[in-house]
Amino acid sequence: MTERDKVFSGSIPKFYDTLMVPLVFEGYAADLAALVAAASPRSVLETAAGSGAVTRALAPRLDATTRYVVTDLNQPMLDYAAGRQGADSRIEWKQADALHLPFEEAAFDVVCCQFGAMFFPDRAAGYAEARRVLKPRGRFVFNVWDRIEENAFADEVTRALAAVFPHDPPRFLARTPHGYHDVALIRDDLSRAGFTTIQIETHEKLSCAASAHDVAIAYCEGTPLRNEIEARDAGLLEFATQRAAQALADRYGNGPVAGKIQAHVIVAMG
């Protein structure tokens, strides 16, 4: 992962939330929210909250007296999420690094994280921080994407951009969002962080969009893939996006499109 992989700024938060969230995140956010709510927690910490997909799904499921702290490393994403959520006295918004959480030990019943662990520069350290702030028998609930070959749209976009930049293909999607998919490695990292009970399930879903063009815009302009394209040639962003759209249309058609997505869902206890 590069430093550019972690930059969600400018127009990225808006495109991310309006296009990427319904495309790939909403279904998994609902699943994660259900897992968290099933524990009837009195206190919840969400890390790497992004534009708030899980927050919007989880808040209505929590008790009126539950403390819910929502954090993200990236302030523009956190600001966007807070703006989408509306007034809720239970929610505290706080910029925080998941590897250096500004909370006391044993402060939360549940720590949850939707598709954020792939961005941790040291996953075992991030997991150890989650365990540190969990109460005894507390739950760490999170998910990560499976390998890019199991996620049709991301794979197609990556291959299309490799044709635009053959000498230096943008590999953000394969490298970071889909780069941490080895279940044995995930178990090992959690074990090294002190978790003793680890459950991992692989969930396949269908990603749907109104058009191939919407999918291309979502990936090329709603994720740090945009930073990677512009670093090669800012003037080629629109061209690269159109090439990705054409590749998707060639495979999935010119009308509404649907493709497989797949992720690992993890519940860990210390």
pLDDT digits (tens, 9 = 90+) for 125-152: 999 999 999 999 999 999 999 999 999 9
Q: Does pLDDT of 12 surpass 80?
A: no
> Cα separation of 52 and 21, whole Å?
9
> So what's the pLDDT on residue 18?
84
Q: Does pLDDT of 254 surpass 50?
A: yes
Number of other residues whose CB lies within 10 A of the CB of residue 166: 8
Which residue type does 141 have?
V
> So what's the pLDDT on residue 8?
47
Distances (CA, A) of 188 to 15, 67, 141, 198: 35, 31, 16, 10
> So what's the pLDDT on residue 32?
98
pTM: 0.92
> So what's the pLDDT on residue 9?
45
> So what's the pLDDT on residue 6?
44
Q: Among 3.10.20.30, 3.40.50.150, 2.30.40.10, 3.90.1150.10, what is the CATH number of 3-269?
A: 3.40.50.150
> So what's the pLDDT on residue 10?
53
> So what's the pLDDT on residue 16?
76
What mean pLDDT comes out for the span 114-118?
97
> So what's the pLDDT on residue 251?
96
> Cα separation of 91 and 87, whole Å?
9
**Helix, strand, or coil (residue 88):** coil
Q: Does pLDDT of 2 surpass 60?
A: no
| Angle at alpha carbon of residue 192, lines to 191 and 196, rounded to 5° | 25
Q: Can you tell me which residue has the tokens 């953000």?
A: 172
Query: How sure is the predictor about 172, in pLDDT bands with cuts at 50, 70 and 90?
Result: very high
> Rounded mean pLDDT of the chain?
94
